[in-house]
Amino acid sequence: MNCNESRRFLEADADGELDLVRHVELEAHLRACPDCARTAGAIRARRAALREALPRFAAPPQLVGRIRASLRAEDAPRAPVIWPIWNLAGIAASLALALLGGYAWGSAHARGDALLSEAVSEHVRSLQAGHLMDVASTDQHTVKPWFIGKLDFSPPVADLADAGFPLAGGRLEHLDGRNAAALVFRRRQHAINVFIWPANGRPIAGRQGRQSGYNASTWSQADLNFLAVSEIPAAELEQFVGAFRARTE
């Protein structure tokens, strides 16, 4: 089996739909081909993430009762039962709404997880020598104008030195598929990165998370999305977020 053939079967294999012969051939190819193995791993990881993120819904009690009653009465002779069309339509509409709601929640949750992973990676990269700031200044009136002409939006900037989080500077970033601003603050010897980019009708939900030892917090305001990342304790990061929002809302 070559690469072109194997990639035709990766999705089916992840779903457990391949016959044994094809599955064995595909596994042999994946052991010999790192590129196809990485693709297969990504497909399996995506499916696992969706299984964990999407909620499971129980059938409405009324529907369960009707099904059980129908099964119990299956052996008893009776006249054919015709469900009213409005009843069927109502059940179908309820199920459709439940599925759509679950899909929307799962998609938003998966997007939030992906953004958090991306932001943590950029935070770690920024801590390398020479990557933390494009403009180094504790003056918000120096940092904010620096972004003019470099972005198609104006990020809010505040100096929070009196709250224990002095401004250190900023830089250009790329997050969520577009250009973003990154403001850098200090907390003792630690850096706090605040990523800012336009929501464009897709605001991110407010949440707190932790990944790879870093704490993160997300929120939206004034049609902008915000994501703060740092290794400082979660309580201190939330203190920072509260101070930042109070100065920029």
Strands 190-198 and 167-175: unpaired
pLDDT at 77 over 90: no
Give the DSSP H or E segment for 11: helix 3-14
d(CA 57, CA 40): 29
pLDDT at 129 over 70: no
How confident is residue 69, by pLDDT bands cut at 50, 70 and 90?
confident
Instruction: Name beta bridge partners: 181.
Output: 172, 196
- Report the pLDDT value the prediction gives residue 142, as an integer from 0 to 100: 95
- Report the pLDDT value the prediction gives residue 242, as an integer from 0 to 100: 96
Average pLDDT, the chain: 81
- pTM of the predicted protein model: 0.57
The CATH homologous superfamily to which domain 111-248 belongs is: MucB/RseB, C-terminal domain (3.30.200.100)
pLDDT at 31 over 80: yes
Tens digits of per-residue pLDDT, 158-171?
Answer: 999 999 999 999 99
The residue ranges of every structural domain in the chain are 1-75, 111-248
Tens digits of per-residue pLDDT, 93-118?
Answer: 555 554 444 444 344 445 557 788 88
- Report the pLDDT value the prediction gives residue 56, as an integer from 0 to 100: 60
d(CA 170, CA 164): 18
Q: Residue 173 CB: number of other CB atoms within 10 A? A: 22
d(CA 53, CA 73): 38
Average pLDDT over residues 16-36: 83
Which of the two residues, 84 and 65, has the higher pLDDT score? Answer: 65
How confident is residue 237, by pLDDT bands cut at 50, 70 and 90?
very high
pLDDT at 216 over 90: yes
Average pLDDT over residues 142-162: 95
Sheet containing 190-198: which strands, arranged edge to edge?
Answer: 135-136, 167-175, 178-187, 190-198, 224-230, 214-221, 207-211
Which of the two residues, 230 and 49, has the higher pLDDT score? Answer: 230
Q: Which range is least confidently modeled, 50-59, 83-92, 179-188? A: 83-92
pLDDT at 203 over 80: yes
Of 5, 23, 24, which Cα lies nearest the Cα of 14? 23
- Report the pLDDT value the prediction gives residue 89, as an integer from 0 to 100: 57
Q: Which range is least confidently modeled, 10-24, 182-196, 205-219? A: 10-24
